[in-house]
Structures are given as structure tokens and as C-alpha cells.
Amino acid sequence: MISLQVPFKLALRTTKPISVLKPALGAAAYRSSARFYASSTGNRPAQVIKPQSVSPHAPIGVSGAVDAESDPSIPTRPKIWDEFSLADRVAIVTGGNRGLGLEMALALAEAGARAVYCLDLPKTPGEDFRAAQKFVEKMGTGGMLEYISADVTDQKKMWDLAEKIGDREGRMDVCIACAGILPPDKDCLEYPAEGFRKVRI
């Protein structure tokens, strides 16, 4: 059994040899595991390999600041927004007609998602959704909010719908399950089992 520690502190246990894992995990994870192996066994690697970030926006964070201190060619600009950018991403948000679902859908659009599909039970979107949709259009980022009437309890329809959206957009990056109904007429401790089964979160 080999235990690897990859750069983002995720422990991976497998019986496969490192030679098989290297292409699958990428060079950064392999380098990290080689350093871990050397430190835990006392064996010294033939050469010291400088840790590399798995971020396409590297160097970032404190290591980016340290690198910039020693190398003036590294630009000193904020990179955190690049790290969290959702540019060109496609998302589905269930329960996206209003409330928390719509808030999350709007946040995805503001973060750069080009298409956010909001799925909810009503046949037509509500006023809040239409206002959010216009807001996204006015932002001028090229993103869009789309509304689709759908029932999340129909798993087959959900799979078909997600596949259809993925085919149309050429990708599917984010899915937020935010659909749920919880009528306010009962205390949660007195909620009947049948009613609880209808809660879809």
C-alpha cells in the first residue's frame, strides 16, 4: 500500500505503483509524493525539485509573494479572482426561481459563468427571476440565466435534462441542488413523515 500526499493535502491510498499514478495525478502530485517518500524513508532524492502549484494562475498566495520578491519579472497583481473565476462555465441550479437558489444562480453569473440554468417547479419564472435575468444581461459579461420548469423528484427527467444542457453547451461544470419545499405551517419537530418526504433538498 502506497500513501501519497498531494499538494492540496489530500491523502490518497492505493495499491498501484507510482509509475501508474504519475500520469494520472500529474507531475505536481508525483513530485510531492516523491518528497514525502524521501522524508518518511530517509532516502534522499537525486535532486531537489521545487514544489509547483497546481493552479494555472501560479504562483499564487504567499509562495507567489516570495517568488515575486526574488524574481522582479513576476507581475504583482491580484490573482485570487482568477483562481475563483467561473469564466465560460455552465451551471444548473435547482430551486433557482427564487430564494437561495436564485441568489446562488446570480452569484455564479457574477463570477463569470456563461450559462446558468435555473430549474424549478413553476411553469413560468417569477418576478424575482426576471429581474435577476435582466440584471445579468445588463452586466454585459455575456452570461445568461435561463429558466426551465422541472420537477427534481423525477430523476430520469433530471438526467435527460442535464444531458441535453450539456450537449447544447458543450460542457457541464456546476450543479447546485437547492430545490426544497418546507411549508411554514408546522414546527419542524411536529412535521409529519409524509410531508417530510416532499422536502427536496
Per-residue pLDDT of 19-29, as tens digits, reads 554 555 454 44
pLDDT at 133: 97
Per-residue pLDDT of 142-171, as tens digits, reads 999 999 999 998 999 999 999 999 999 999
Grid coordinates given for 24: 494520472
The residue count of the chain comes to 201
Average pLDDT over every residue of 130-144: 94
Q: What contacts 24+ positions apart, CB below 8 Å, involve 19-26?
A: 26/54
One domain for residues 158 and 184: yes
For residue 118, the cross-strand partners are 93, 147
- Cβ contacts of residue 177 below 8 Å, gap of 6+? 94, 95, 152, 201
End-to-end CA distance of the chain: 38
Omega prior to 75 cis, within 30 of 0: no
The beta strand positions in 33-172, using DSSP E, are 90-94, 115-120, 144-149
The residue assigned the cell 430551486 is 95
Rounded percentage of the chain residues whose pLDDT exceeds 90? 43
One domain for residues 169 and 105: yes
- Cβ contacts of residue 93 below 8 Å, gap of 6+? 101, 102, 104, 105, 108, 116, 117, 118, 119, 175, 176, 178
One domain for residues 95 and 38: no
User: CA angle, 34 as apex, 33 and 38 as ends, to 5°?
Assistant: 115
| 108: pLDDT strictly greater than 80 | yes
- CATH at 147: 3.40.50.720
Dist CA 17 CA 26 (whole Å) = 14
One domain for residues 61 and 151: no
**By residue range, what is the domain housing residue 6?**
2-52
- State the total domains in the chain: 3
Dist CA 127 CA 201 (whole Å) = 23
pLDDT at 116: 98
Q: Please state, rounded to an integer, the average pLDDT across all residues of the chain.
A: 77
Q: Is the pTM of this model over 0.85?
A: no
